[in-house]
Structure 1
Amino acid sequence: MIIEKVVTNINQLSKDELNGRHQEKVFLESADLVKRIQRVKTDHGRELGIRLKENRELKAGDILYMDDHNMIVIDVLVDDLLIIRPRNIHEMGTVAHQLGNRHLPAQFEADEMLIQYDYLVEELLRDLDVPFNREERKVTQAFRHIGHSHGA
């Protein structure tokens, strides 16, 4: 089966629309969410080709296929993350500046900054005395590097 578009996201469906439908899952690493063309396998062993016509990224909960009885849904594997919780704007600015200098992508959830685990950043956060935890957690979207060059 070739998937060319995302039907909808599971979060957009009502309980009635979900009720009675069997969910087959495709587990992806967060980095694979940006790939418009890829070969995947569901948790039931079904092989799918994804070739999205529109220029969009996949997200956790995206439904690739749905009929009256079944659906195939994207799920994301856990990432090894540093969860940073600055106590004030000064700590936030310092951390953001340091991570920006390293060109590390970050995501934000509520008052937390999430980055993929890096032992050098872990050491930096300890040196700066900024609160953080290392956790395995699912993210809903891929960590995106923003293109940038220092040259003129």
Structure 2
Amino acid sequence: MAPELIAQDYHSHAHASPTGRVALTYEDRFLRRKVLTLEDGRRLLVDLPKTTSLDHGGVLLTEQGEIAIEAKSEPLLEVTGPDLHRLAWHIGNRHTPCQIERDRLLIQRDHVIRDMLARIGATVAEVEEPFTPEGGAYGHGRTHGHDHSHSHGPHDHEH
């Protein structure tokens, strides 16, 4: 079955009401060319110029409008403990994608990392939630350092 929509561009934030939605796991949000199925069943061919890390809240641009990207729930480890900064350092030292929140850290399930964290005093629990890790030196995860000025025709603006 041929895709009904084609997306050849991506923006990290929406400008209009979406004409469709797609929920993707962290790993699935890294793509260049792939057919995706939207929530309403329509098929979307994503054909980007280069492999891109799609952010939760970002949009794929089609001739019919914007397709909203949502982080899909996936199996994760919730990490808590009295010294969260130290735990975050150990996770980062192993180049593990990490979602950093005020009272907890979220990482993908990995039994080796789980055992290491437990040995250094972390409380680790299995959860299923959307995963939006911090971006880093390599640009994976949430991206913050990008230019928000771009053209929208007669209504150019900056965010």
TM-score bucket (shorter structure): 0.5 to 0.7
TM-score, reference length from structure 1: 0.65
**Structure 1 residues 141 and 123: CA distance shift in structure 2, 3 A:** closer
Distance 1:127 1:4 in 2: 46
AA at the equivalent of 2:131: V
Distance 1:7 1:99 in 2: 27
Distance 1:30 1:58 in 2: 9
SS of the residue 2:53 aligns to: coil
AA at the equivalent of 1:93: R
AA at the equivalent of 1:125: L
Match of 1:137 among 110, 129, 138: 129
Distance 1:105 1:120 in 2: 14
Distance 2:11 2:97 in 1: 29
SS of the residue 2:56 aligns to: coil
Structure 2 residue 71 is the aligned partner of structure 1 residue 76: yes
Larger Rg: 1
- Cα RMSD of the aligned pairs, angstroms, is 3.4
Match of 1:119 among 111, 119, 125: 111
Match of 1:104 in 2: 96
Amino-acid identity (%): 22
- Cα deviation for residue 141 of structure 1 reads 5.4
Match of 2:31 among 13, 35, 47: 35
SS of the residue 2:112 aligns to: helix
Count of residues in correspondence between the two structures: 134
User: 1 or 2 for the larger relative contact order (CA 8 Å, sep ≥6)?
Assistant: 1
**Structure 1 residues 77 and 98: CA distance shift in structure 2, 3 A:** closer
Question: Runs of 4 or more off by more than 4 Å in structure 1?
Answer: 65-68, 141-146
- Cα deviation for residue 47 of structure 1 reads 1.2
**Structure 1 residues 130 and 141: CA distance shift in structure 2, 3 A:** closer
TM-score, reference length from structure 2: 0.63
Match of 2:54 in 1: 58
